[in-house]
A and B are shown apart, each in its own frame.
Chain A
């Protein structure tokens, strides 16, 4: 049994008390004395040349402090890209400038052209309407394949084309892969789209810039998943503010799902304008603005092919993907379709040869970057749809085809042909667990019952692999990352024994304040209520990389373990002095230090007090105080995996799909807080099912966003989701981090879309609609009906 509030306990989330009672402190809750407000004038055309901007009338409007255009940012840099991809030919990607305010051209609907700062937001908005902008409209570049055609209009005049890069992985495998396809007994192929999504966190983005001339200090309060990254990128590359003069604070943040990783123009604007105007400057995004200024997700078009031998062993996989970058490179955009996608193309299977080709394309749309799962959902969707299609074409059971080709438990550690080494896993176990929980044996009876009501029942399966906690830093540096991917922690033990933990991870819904406290409480043996977790402020936490890619516990938690161990080591030396014993004879248990084999002991607070009131203390050997910092750089990714089962009922008259059961059997390694893990899986499933059935970000051929509000962008609602069966009893601990944990934040969003689509195809095939081999997401009623009647 886990200790109360220790590792393994379903401790209730302590942060929820303030969130649920209205006491959360979000960026929009920060209002500084003398604060002014900015409104951005954004382009309403997708592509055009700015021929003139006249701000005179706006400058004269009531309350206006200043109207900014790109001319005000002549000395500033563009928003930097944090990852440089090298193409198939050894050349760096094309990397256009991303200005804070549009320079010469507008490149997507929503591109900021000018910014008005006024006493109130309403005044700023009124004045923005008085700005006269002349734009010579240019042909918009929307379709990715058309964007790459000879003579296509260029999004960036100074680039050679709209191709960001043409990436091959593993390029050296290409010929061998092609040869495998030549000799294959069976080849199965599938063309598919991974639909473009809008993250839509509950809290829209907000930025407050502040400047204190007394110390020449800048402060930015922002809705960020990684304030240190923003400080580094904005300080060093955009505004030339050294880190010791720049503090970035990300207080309570209401969800991010990736969209709050990136450094955005509005952050740099507010920081800069605050200094120019000597006034705090605030921007709060409206929901409409979020649709056209937050980075979007996914948006891949892919052909994937699988070669099998006569015994149905997988021989090779070959893919060609077009990945939409949008109009500019968002902070980590180039890495998503490459290193976070190509490296996962082995899935859970022993496929000896894999070649992945990705063409990243500039279009006149909002930039695209990581969104919950980031590259891994795209890889999983391709593989799991294709394996299902292969089973149908070969006339074999999709479960057996998977089992036959699974990497077996004894094969770990397993070197894939796409560079990564899976440390642990047991895919047969998760598959068995899922089928048991799904009562798969009883499916046929349930299907007959549905059929009696005129409904088509189907069961869809997907098995995913994901890679969390991208690392190690020296490897990702070779792959083009312009950042490290370690994490930091400081443990500050206070004199009376309470503990302040400063983590470089950032919680925006994940429950770190609860989970991290459980880890420290368990290690030291003190009550979790005596531990406070601090995050999100660069002025008090060591340089950290933040939270994304399901890395917080695996990387940030490991840094906390490392720092806590340093604290315990020093505390044992102090205890040894107090107990007049050797440090190696001291053991710490349940918050008490004792000399092994004796009844001599001193409790935790006795040691901590001695550290800060060192009257009886080995000062010649040991510094006073009890505070340690650690940085943890993982030696590998972690590799969670799981089997997902989705049982649906499809109404053939309308095409509507109802999900009746959804079963997730995940292997997350060791679990610190089962309740929080379950919640994370629920959230991921809701987003994955949202992608599969409802959500779609659609531009028309003029680059206007057709799904620019919740009237047309369908978010999943509670009544779309009947509840989930979530299990994480299959455990193969991670072998290379101290907690043996893997990461659970994105799994649901990665594994569920192919399970849902496979269920729909299964329902249709069982009912004889065998001409339907694929339907692109989202599987709206209209699309399903059209497919049945095609």
Chain B
């Protein structure tokens, strides 16, 4: 790891001001950034810790929505969201291991947009709103391919507003080594219809499975998608599974999420 300067502002405005420096990078839980710095793949001159900004932390109910601060750790979401939005809490409780969950944050995960991360499935699967220092971004506009998002340079996520569904569940099939999602599916049922978001499977990152959404919107039943199959074009193929396997898991995990939804 190369040497760096460490700053810990207490307001969003101060953080944004420091991040105007091209050599500065925002730092939340560090679960991706620190390993990449140790491997010397990343060498920011200034690390701007966001964890001292009170307004960016915590879980609160706002009518029919749950607002989660960007620096809220996975462990805190697993604990504090459980009574409001159990499917989101369960997803957070399955990320990594206890050490990861006590450091890793929602905002960090979304800003990184790893194609196998869990949170993007929940955000896209609920049609959540990503709130930044500058604007609000709809989930459908936010995810733009693996490790690519709608965030501008120096823009930071401050919170995410999740519309709480009638029923939801996340079904995750583990990649055996990393225990990221080999394929993970978040299914959420709203009065307006059903959303299905898939992570871990596609070279394009998290995506919505429109056919399954249509079928489930007309009948929220695992059997209603039993005959659907997702094409394998564009699916990830690696040591842990072929494109065909992941395409198959998209259907299987969607069905399992539907069965588990409550």
Contact = CB atoms under 8 A, between A and B. Distances in A.
Interface of A: 122, 125, 129, 288, 653-656, 693-694, 696, 698, 706-707, 710-715, 780-782, 785-786
B39 A780 contact: no
Most B Cβ at <10 Å: residue of A125, A288, A710, A780: A780
Contacts of B1: 122
Interface in B139-178: 173, 176-178
Q: In terms of DSSP, what is the predominant structure of the interface of chain A? A: loop
Contact of A782 (B177, B178, B242): B242
Contacts of B242: 782, 786
A251 to B, nearest CB: 27
A654 B240 contact: no
Nearest to B180: A711
B239 interface: yes
Given A653-B252, A785-B248, A780 B176 contact: yes
A780 B241 CA distance: 9
Contacts of A122: 1
15 contacts: A694-B176, A696-B239, A706-B239, A707-B177, A710-B177, A711-B177, A712-B240, A713-B177, A715-B177, A780-B241, A781-B173, A781-B176, A781-B182, A782-B241, A782-B245
B177 A712 contact: yes
Contacts of A654: 173, 249, 252
Contacts of B244: 786
B134 to A, nearest CB: 33
B154 to A, nearest CB: 29
A780 to B, nearest CB: 6
Nearest to A129: B40
A656 B245 CA distance: 12
Nearest to A715: B177
Interface in B98-113: none
Contacts of B240: 712, 780, 782
Contacts of B182: 781
Contacts of A711: 177-178
A536 B146 CA distance: 51
A785 B241 CA distance: 10
Interface string B225-253: 00000000000000111101100110010
Nearest to A709: B177
A656 B174 CA distance: 10
Given A654-B249, A710-B177, A715-B177, 7 more contacts: A654-B252, A655-B245, A713-B177, A714-B177, A780-B241, A785-B248, A786-B244
Interface residues of B, number: 17
Contacts of A782: 240-242, 245
A191 to B, nearest CB: 21
Contacts of B239: 696, 698, 706-707, 712
Given A714-B176, A714-B177, A288 B245 contact: no
A772 to B, nearest CB: 16
B122 to A, nearest CB: 22
Interface in B197-246: 239-242, 244-245
Most A Cβ at <10 Å: residue of B173, B176, B239: B176
Contacts of B173: 654, 656, 781
A768 to B, nearest CB: 20
Contacts of A698: 239
The 6 closest A-B pairs by CB, nearest first: A714-B177, A782-B241, A714-B176, A711-B178, A782-B245, A653-B252
A693 B1 CA distance: 35
Contacts of A710: 177-178
A707 B240 CA distance: 10
A204 to B, nearest CB: 14
A786 B245 contact: yes
A122 B3 CA distance: 10
A288 B176 contact: no
Contacts of B252: 653-654
A707 B178 CA distance: 11
B73 to A, nearest CB: 21
A125 B39 CA distance: 11
A712 B178 contact: yes
A785 B242 CA distance: 11
Given A698-B239, A712-B239, A782-B240, A288 B39 contact: yes
Contacts of B248: 785
Most B Cβ at <10 Å: residue of A129, A713, A782, A785: A782
Contacts of B249: 654
A780 B252 CA distance: 17
B195 to A, nearest CB: 23
B257 to A, nearest CB: 14
Contacts of A653: 252
Contacts of A129: 40
Nearest to A126: B2
Contacts of A712: 177-178, 239-240
Nearest to A710: B177
Contacts of A656: 173
Contacts of A707: 177, 239
A125 B241 CA distance: 36
Contacts of B178: 710-712
Contacts of A696: 239
B39 to A, nearest CB: 7
B226 to A, nearest CB: 11
B46 to A, nearest CB: 19
B90 to A, nearest CB: 17
A344 B5 CA distance: 60
Most A Cβ at <10 Å: residue of B39, B244, B248, B252: B248
A419 B195 CA distance: 67
A208 B134 CA distance: 54
A655 B244 CA distance: 13
A30 B39 CA distance: 25
A129 B252 CA distance: 47
A698 B182 CA distance: 18
Contacts of A715: 177
A760 to B, nearest CB: 15
A706 B238 CA distance: 9
A773 B242 CA distance: 21
A710 B176 CA distance: 10
Most B Cβ at <10 Å: residue of A706, A781, A786: A781
A713 B182 CA distance: 14
B2 to A, nearest CB: 8
Nearest to A694: B176
A288 B41 CA distance: 14
A696 B241 CA distance: 13
A534 to B, nearest CB: 37
Interface string B1-19: 1000000000000000000
A785 B245 contact: yes
Interface in B19-74: 39-40
A713 to B, nearest CB: 6
Nearest to B116: A711
A710 B100 CA distance: 15
A714 B180 CA distance: 12
A303 B168 CA distance: 51
Contacts of B40: 125, 129
Most B Cβ at <10 Å: residue of A706, A712, A715: A712
B232 to A, nearest CB: 13
Contacts of A655: 245
A343 to B, nearest CB: 34
Nearest to A707: B239
A140 B151 CA distance: 42
Nearest to A286: B38
A711 B245 CA distance: 19
Most A Cβ at <10 Å: residue of B177, B242, B248, B252: B177
A664 B117 CA distance: 39
A656 B172 CA distance: 13
A129 B2 CA distance: 12
A433 to B, nearest CB: 32
Contacts of B241: 780-782
B53 to A, nearest CB: 30
